[in-house]
Chains A and B, each alone.
Chain A
Amino acid sequence: MAFVTANWNPLGEAFYRKIELYEMGWNLKDGLRECLVAAAPYGGPISLLKGHNRRSPSDRPQLEIYSSSGLPLASFPWKSGVVKQLGWTVSDDLLCVQEDGTVLVYDLLGGFKRHFSMGNEVSQSQVLETKIFHSPYGTGVAILTGALRFTLATNIDDIKLRRLPEVPGLQGAPSCWAVLTQDRQSKVLVANGSHLFILDNTACTPVTPPGLSPQASSIVHMCVSFSYKYLALLTDSGHVWMGTSNLKEKLSEVDTKIKTPPKQMAWYGTLLLFPSAVVMWDGLLIVVGECKETIQYHLDDDSILVPELDGVRIISGTHHELLQEVPGACEEIFKIASMAPGALLLEAHKEYEKESQKADEYLREIKEQSLLSEAVRQCVEAAGHEHEPETQKTLLRAASFGKCFLSNFPPEQFVSMCRDLRVLNAVRDYTVGIPLTHTQFKQMTVQVLIDRLVYRKLYPLAIEICRYLKTPEYQGVSRVLKHWACYKVQQKEESDEVIAKAVSVKLADAAGISYSEIATKAYESGRTELAIKLLEFEPRSGEQVPLLLKMKKSPLALSKAIESGDTDLVYTVVMYLKNELNRGDFFMMLRNQPVALSLYKQFCKHQEQDTLKDLFNQDDDHEELGNLYVKASYKDQRLEARIALLQSAVDEYYKAKNEFSAKTTEDEMRLLRFQRLTGLWLHNNLQCTLSIQKSFLPQTFDQKCTLLFMIKTKNHNKYCCLSHRDMEGAAEAAIERRNESEISTVLSRCSATTDHLLMERLNRAKATAVKK
């Protein structure tokens, strides 16, 4: 405790501290020398490729993956091409960029996932240098080819390759370059000697950093900050220029007085008050800040720098350290002779534990200034920034002690800090090896932390954390269990039954589990039977369908789709089956599923009339066939064809034993046939007929009635009968025309009971007509 400040170094107004995170668990013979190294941010895994330039098949390079504490996660000989660069994606996947532009993707336990190419142009001119970067769109890869051109993919999950414009005057490899994200676009900043260019999709623009010291003739190194906000340039004269990455503003320029090119340069976190950069040479580390001063550290071993949100991690062959600016609250409390309220409270608590009355004096001092709540707040915050559990405890105890003297002090901050710290201490543990700071944890969110634990297959810990933090089951425990199950189903040595049982037992009570996802995993690893077993647990029948189709279990897929009630899904399966099966089998399958059949009929009605006919034929549905012919008859303009279609309809209606429809249809055919016979007459006289109709027929007669009437009166056509109500009209017309035979016809159709008035009139008219 007394030595909290022992590792503090002042720089300008701030202090910096270097904390040892782990003594590395690995056993590296040559340290990090001659290794390709990549370490993921947020305390992620470390990958090493030893002897990456070796090409002989007998002596292959070895790819190794370790946790941040140096525990081995995977190790295997590299059998592919020459690797130029290693890097980690945001979801803890390892990217290995090969000389030929192929990028291989592995998970963090060394399992191969997939590969993709950076394009023909890259594979032809080979990769010269490459950088892996993160942007809001995901993880990207930038490549400088042997032809001195840049090719960029902003998101490896959705690869859209972009070739950037040429850099003017570039003869050999540029002295240094970096990728920035600006205006929602990834750009490349290139230094060629003392010239600086920004390359975007369309142009190569020369830029000049404001106030860059004139002694410099070449920019030898550059780096951008975590958030792409700041840029640091190191010149051959040993000056570090720091400014904003849009090159509009200069923050400071510091002379390191070292002119050899450095091994690595990195930005400190940009969350801090004083942005600063770290430059590393062999055996030497220099921190440069806004002021002109520097801090120098000596390094015993080959090391790499891993920039973080709020500091830089230094990984060497033996140790893992965190270099960070001392957070405000810690500084207030632990700074020598600090009179800050937090410091006094800590002191008061110490005295209290010693049972000394001084505790009261300190407390009074804070309370007199009404700063007690501030003091508690400081202690809680400082606890969050301390790595040693003992220090955390001391600070939290002090805070808890101070809280006793406050009424209405909101407890949330204290409670959530205790929870967070318990989680952080658990994942920082040597066996887990995720050295997150509290700031990083808050930025990364619990969700992502759970994901990371799941990637490492630390399921029990992940579940414990979910339960402890009371994460909603849906996003927490259930999700972890699903991942566990997905892993479980890939275990080849266990039988289907054992796995299915294990999965169902463990997942039984978990809500919102997607069994179909687990089943998909099982299917992908070649275990169809297991997949089917697992699918049975899936409550959402809709979800089961795509996988069942993939597994060629189409009858099951169809019944599941129907079960879900989602007609679109049923259609999807039906269409799939239609393409998969021969027509006979397809119809057979539909026949057993009436819901699917009627949906398919609907589809055919609009899209494939002919198929519809086949379907009705298969079912011997003569009624529907008849209807189909009737509908078709209206689509045809030619009278001949219409009559033929109606005849087919009549046949079908008879087969369906629907006398009524058959008879009515026959009547319609006769009418049409008559029109054909007298077609000419009808055409020529239609207008004329209509006008006659208007003049001498009652208004209620429409065109067809008129025709019927004409036919009747002229030809004594027996089968075209007039309905009861038309009789009056017919009589009216016949009387008007004084045609005896017409009158007789009408008369013959009258019934004595209902129409006797009409008959009287007709008889009178007939008499006058005869007289004439």
Chain B
Amino acid sequence: MASHLFCGRVNLNILREAARKDLREFLDKCSGSKAIVWDEYLTGPFGLIAQYSLLKEHEVEKMFTLKAGRIPSAAVKNIVFFVRPRLELMDIIAENVASEDKLQPRDVHILFVPRRSLLCEQRLKEKGVLNSFTNIDEYILDLIPYDGDLLSMESESSFRECYLENDQTSLYHAAKGLMNLQALYGTIPQIFGKGECARHVANMMLRMKREFAGSQTQILPVFDTLLLLDRNVDLLTPLATQLTYEGLIDEIFGITNGYVKLPPEKFAQKKQGEGGKELPTEPKKLQLNSAEELYAEIRDKNFNAVGAALSKKAKIISAAFEERHNAKTVGEIKQFVSQLPHMQAARSSLANHTSIAELIKDITTDSWLYFILCNMVRNAHLNMPDVFSQTALLSCVSASEDFFDSLTVEQEFMTGVDTDKVSTYIEDCIAQKDPLIKILRLVCMQSVCNNGLKQKVLDYYKKEILQTYGYKHILTLKNLEKVGLLKPQSTMRNNYPTIRKTLKLWMEDANEQNPNDISYVYSGYAPLSVRLTQVLARPGWRSIEEVLKMLPGPHFEERQQVPTGLHKKRQPGENRTTLVFFLGGVTYAEIAALRFLSNMEDSGTEYIIAATKLINGTSWIKSLMDSPEENLP
């Protein structure tokens, strides 16, 4: 059920099991049948920990969504609220509890995720319902195992809270989560960090370690290093369009809690003899993680290389099915049959991903192919992927060049071309009223790559946006300025080119098919965050002191005492394990780049990734928006 958690270097299933154990213990505390009333936001994250079957084993008979008014009727002994500690939710709970049937009292419990809150309890007290609860408990769910090498706090607005609202709650939870992780996987001897938030988290961790002195567990450290990175150290990366397979799925369809919802048309089952079957209308929901062999193989490839990988896989699978003709003896047939389920799973997985690849192709329109073509010409790789036919390629050149144009502009910005004037492309997009977020991503990117825009340019963009998309976005623009995504140029020199050159953020000859550098994930741009990680491992940050000083926030190194006898004796050739924690979110392309580093032959370091949330440019900008709805009569 959680096989994807075993495959990594660190067995993250321990964490999941610990979380499941706590959940079972709480459920058993409320003896008898029960109904869970869910804070809707939590169902996704909980899905990563436990399926309905586990709840059912512990007498959960009904599930409701938390909403005002009465709880729907259910013949159960217990009502259990699973909620985040938020005041607005407390008001709803108070209303729910107050309208409970006084004649048939049920035991009411409340489970705060991830932590109890005095403030909320105070609110419940003010509403006069605090005493109605039989159990008030907390379910500590900070870092949720997401995949074999990936942990997420699934804390949606953490970037906004930290940088816009100066609310560091999610950092406290991150520190707690890291302490919890250390309780299970041993003390992490080295902590590196860059950024204000990173400093804050490290400080809290060191403090908490002092606080819990004496109750330490004697566990051999699994992680050698922890690297804490502020998202605002690298504002550029999430703005760029991710070009890995998984990254594109996320950019286009959005992956939430490990699931993606896809338009159903491509997934209609084509069975022979049934002819025109009705198309399904429900979106197709697919779970995406490394438990699926094919997906694990292609998720981190540049989309350009996915076609070839898929067609190669298709050949292998059909060859495997052909094997049946060679199976002569009973023994051989038996062996063939025993492999059938695995082969069938592989075949359906292949079918799914071929469909997804087609969908992506459709949506990025033929311009995508155009883009590939251009890249191919550029890189002189003329062996076409099979999925894309010659004819499509020819037609594409004349077709809408939107996606390609957008990528081209992004790449121009990243290479520092004309970042100091108004971009005609952005102007055109505004005129055509392209999605606002697309515009904001581009404008922000230009600002970041130019270390701020000239006041005139900035005002022009802002004016254009407000006139086209409405005055209501004025607050959104202010938010973007507040977090530093948009800013007027200061007198300071634009240091982005220096950073780009020192850290080699732009690689002219990115090889998408057989990458030799992380820059393949953005077809040329190497994510700054991952470069910092890479340099830290070798040759160390001392070599880039100058650049680190240009990036916002302090950089630091801390050491934590590991009890004697627990010092790791490294075998020659054994890799170090580094946990990279992105405070404010991480993109799939960055993850892909880190995985690429782990798998590099002579890297010497394997990476486990943790983040407050998995983000992409769109979801990230969206979380920063503040556009009140028109409320005209």
Residues of A within 8 A of B (CB): 473-474, 478, 510-512, 539-541, 563-569, 571-572, 575, 594-595, 598-599, 601-603, 606-607, 623, 627, 630-631, 634-638, 660-661, 664-665, 667-668, 671, 700, 702, 704-705, 723-726
Contact = CB atoms under 8 A, between A and B. Distances in A.
B631 A637 contact: yes
Contacts of A627: 475, 478
A580 to B, nearest CB: 14
Interface stretch (B67-75, B340-348, B408-416, B457-465): B457-465
8 contacts: A474-B215, A512-B213, A565-B207, A568-B85, A635-B628, A664-B474, A667-B471, A725-B430
Interface string B125-144: 00000000000000000000
Interface string B66-98: 000000000000000000010110000000000
Interface string B443-470: 0000000000000000100111011101
A287 B88 CA distance: 68
Contacts of B472: 634
Given A478-B214, A660-B462, A565 B167 contact: no
Contact of A539 (B165, B167, B211, B478): B211
Contacts of B427: 724-725
A603 B123 CA distance: 13
Contact of A607 (B87, B169, B466): B87
Given A700-B433, A725-B431, 17 more contacts: A511-B213, A512-B213, A539-B207, A565-B200, A567-B168, A568-B169, A595-B166, A601-B165, A606-B87, A634-B631, A636-B631, A664-B462, A664-B474, A665-B474, A667-B471, A702-B433, A725-B428
Given A566-B172, A567-B169, A571-B119, A473 B471 contact: no
A357 B204 CA distance: 72
Contacts of B539: none
A595 B211 contact: no
A630 B630 contact: no
A637 B427 CA distance: 33
Nearest to B629: A634
B119 to A, nearest CB: 4
Nearest to A701: B433
Contacts of B466: 664
A76 to B, nearest CB: 38
Interface in B141-172: 165-169, 171-172
Given A565-B171, A565-B172, A723-B467, A512 B118 contact: no
Contact of A635 (B175, B203, B213, B631): B631
Interface in B113-128: 115-119, 122
A637 B632 contact: yes
B207 A631 contact: no
Contact of A634 (B119, B204, B478, B628): B628
A82 B167 CA distance: 60
A637 B633 contact: yes
Contacts of A726: 431
Interface in B185-208: 200, 203-204, 207
B272 interface: no
A660 B428 CA distance: 23
A226 to B, nearest CB: 27
A598 B467 CA distance: 32
Contacts of A566: 172
B471 A664 contact: yes
Nearest to B472: A634
Contacts of B428: 725
| Most chain B CB inside 10 Å of its own CB: which residue of A474, A563, A571, A638 | A571
A568 B115 contact: yes
B214 A700 contact: no
B33 to A, nearest CB: 19
Contacts of A623: 478
B117 A568 contact: yes
A478 to B, nearest CB: 7
Contacts of A540: 211
Contacts of B628: 630-631, 634-635
B119 A572 contact: yes
B478 A660 contact: no
A726 B430 CA distance: 10
A512 B119 contact: no
Contacts of B215: 474, 511-512
Please give me the 7 A-B residue pairs with the lowest Cβ-Cβ distance, nearest first: A511-B214, A725-B431, A512-B214, A634-B628, A598-B166, A668-B471, A567-B169
B87 A665 contact: no
B102 interface: no
A44 to B, nearest CB: 31
A572 B122 contact: yes
B210 interface: yes
A601 B165 CA distance: 9
A565 B475 contact: no
Contact of A569 (B118, B211, B433): B118
Contacts of B213: 511-512, 539
B432 interface: yes
B88 A606 contact: yes
Given A598-B165, A631-B475, A725-B431, A568 B631 contact: no
B166 A594 contact: yes
Nearest to B432: A700
B474 A661 contact: yes
Interface in B25-58: none
Nearest to B210: A539
- Best-surrounded residue of A540, A568, A631, A724 (most CB of chain B within 10 A): A568
Nearest to A722: B467
Contacts of A723: 431, 464, 467-468
A568 B169 CA distance: 8
B168 A565 contact: yes
A168 to B, nearest CB: 30
Contacts of A634: 472, 628-631
Nearest to A572: B118
A603 B85 CA distance: 13
Contacts of A563: 207
Most buried by B among A511, A594, A660: A660
B474 A630 contact: yes
B587 to A, nearest CB: 27
A730 to B, nearest CB: 13
B212 A512 contact: yes
Nearest to A574: B119
A398 to B, nearest CB: 38
A705 B167 CA distance: 39
A142 B210 CA distance: 47
A595 B168 contact: yes
Contacts of B115: 568
A474 B214 contact: yes
A473 B213 CA distance: 11
A566 B200 CA distance: 12
Contacts of A474: 214-215
Contacts of B467: 723
A660 B172 contact: no
A664 B119 contact: no
Nearest to A661: B474
A567 B633 contact: no
Contacts of A631: 475, 626, 628
A567 B172 contact: yes
Contacts of B165: 598, 601-602
A557 B632 CA distance: 47
B219 to A, nearest CB: 16
Interface in B425-444: 427-428, 430-433
Contacts of A665: 471, 474
A552 B175 CA distance: 30
Nearest to B119: A571
B118 to A, nearest CB: 4
Contacts of B474: 630, 661, 664-665
Contacts of A705: 468
Contacts of B87: 603, 606-607
Nearest to B171: A565
